[in-house]
Structure 1
């Protein structure tokens, strides 16, 4: 709870920065994406498809596929997506990946521009020039022929004393459309087609020669779920796989699953570790930790004692003024609300030499800040009302105290930062390899914009609104439009069953990135020890716990803390009793203003 206060102030302008960052660039990017959208069914029709697959004895296959595409509109996207399957399940329900290497992408016999995108079953390869709706299209109305040539590997797996060649029945498809398709399979001799895999309702297989099969697939969308074609061979028909390849293949088969589990695992490990540190209390003590109190300013002690309530500002300010007086930087008339300050000598002290400057800069930063605020107050008869200087200064005082408290953490939490960055990279890798990169980006965009809106609504004082038309247009038009576009994209994009576990892993990674900073802001053992030290000091000042022996030096040393904890009367009474027991004359400190 304590460190949440630091988060609030360190992110004071977070909403403003994010709103400015998201406004204009997001609008421009959104317009580009919107203009590049297309409706494939309205622009193209896949009339037919034919494939030739030649399998070699090293377990690889050379594939050449042709798609006859009818272009129906003059204005079109300018290219098509070809989906290549890589993932398959063998007879023993083992999941494997086929190696893939693209050789060529052609249109009407000529090499064409292309790029690859990942998805869970394999790759989506775009062939053609990217264009917006109103740009000249590369594909003229009529029939055009798209060709894709590639290598497939890892097609053979071992089953007891046999080797089984597994080939996807449909090889690839264009935009999910199921057109009439013919596959010519040229296989090594000696193979036997598994009868159990022949499904007349799905496809028809004819054997034209001992080593050649023709697979005919009727038009329709059923080709998305066709069973693989499996051919049995005697052992040692294909080249023996080395142990190194087996290890590489196993790692490749389980990589996506491994990185999907790793993100939530790291999050849980971080939470358990840090929570354990937070619950671990320091060793109990019945005495004041003098060394620890030397590292705490009276202002910080006031906030720690009040559990960071805003009412602590007055006690923190007065305690700092008392600290300045005890250190001979000024003189004060009393410790009450009507206290006045005079003889502000810190400026002269800083000019006296190295030792004097060391004494000044040895004070806590928040104490020096309070002196500067008192110094700004206009004097009357050489005196300044101390609490007048507090008005309007509460927020800066709180920030300075929080900065001191945060400094006890030791600066940047490198462990939390490294864990969050690792989980972020894992999430990006999962999204990339599963084909959910844009989908995940849309989810993150919605979550980020929603968080900024909530912060702006709950804390409008932290938002600096746009000052020119471009920023205002980007903020009030671009950001809502981006939200709508992201929602439409999420609602209209299909997440297939194989992608759903990885989408869940991505969402868990996003949750981990949100959780880790919050857990990292939990009070560290040192910060908990600081608060416990302040509580023990309160007991000492009241006479309930043991501590340093009373003396004038001890009284003045802890007087600012007594003011911070609102026990200065009790502490002064204890001092007076001690003074009487020591038969000491009246105590008149030189830092008090004598009327």
Structure 2
């Protein structure tokens, strides 16, 4: 409450000054703020103005913000309910209209014009969701006047009344004055008889305001529960609600579809296999095992063409080039024939670099199509059509959100997670057929031999003799199955013996850095480096607290402004 004596003197001086100068202004702006136990507030704003018929002709208008953004960019909508308006103690006509971030109250009548004089308006309203609940205290961070007034304010003041149970000595109050963002403290504040009082010590210019921060201990005002906060979040952000509902629907549909169509047949008993399944190339083995095409599929096919004598690989400082050879009539798989014909359309040599991305990309696509024709739907199903309803719902959700204007950061996150889920189910929906499951089991048995035979983890009976020819024959399969280094390391002793006997080993199909004593490194390097080179060459170049010094003028709830009409 205002201190006796001084407040009355200020009002008298303001009245005299306002009358003498004859300028439209706010003579005094006082807010009585009562905070209830349930967290709601009743506010009475008493605004004394000097009207000269310039801007204040019929009355005043007051803007009340109701829509805010929280610290995460989500909408935060507070309640505002006008309970009554008076002018000089008598009920006054008013009307409201929606504005960008709240509501505007026009006080007065269209057909009644005011005589030049001083008028006192009182606006009584109720609002909620204005309080801050923190770990060690609760607070009201409140812009008492708003910073949007077109008139100067001679004096602004406010009184905050808390429930009687709050000990007066635990209440704190500070104030900030000036334009939006200013941290000046041209105000006096005190707690008197359990009420927090604040008053400016200098007039406020147009665009300036008074913001207060009142604090008290926790436990006296009922804080909202997590359920209430979640309900408010969804109610204020319809776009988020739509996004969550859409995500739930899409996930339910995709989960049901996967359960019905995306489950693989159970694997059979896996036994080590000394040979790959007959009539399957390394590329086709990987295509079926991965239920799709990737750069390693391409690399395995290239290495197999090299081992068969149709391609020579040259490596220098990480760069690769392929040369066409005759192959001596060695049979080729259908996909290999397509790949070989597409790789060398421009000549007998091709470098794996950006300059040849069209040729290499075209060869890659042709190879993929050939494998798809021969193996997809026979050995596995992609079930891609099952994703179409989910994609359609996702598009509809985004459209609905756009129509509501609710594309907040949280909504974007939910939409992004939904798109990610559809992408994950794109892979999960793939399912092997019984024939494909049988082939995958045989490939797993062969991979077991390529990977762990050297370590003695398996009790192998009559394994094939390790020779350079065996190493080269199965190296493309090891590359396709991802165990090229383990396969090569099994032959380290073989190549070491050849070296000691003077019979050095050098693959006829590979020209580059080669050291038989590091055969594991060679195989791993060829697999990874060639895969990277293929991938590169196939692509064209190309909410805060106001206490503790963190407040400022214009911050917190309340605010707005006003003018005359």
With structure 2 as the length reference, what TM-score do the two structures score? 0.34
Higher helix share: 1
Higher strand share: 2
With structure 1 as the length reference, what TM-score do the two structures score? 0.32
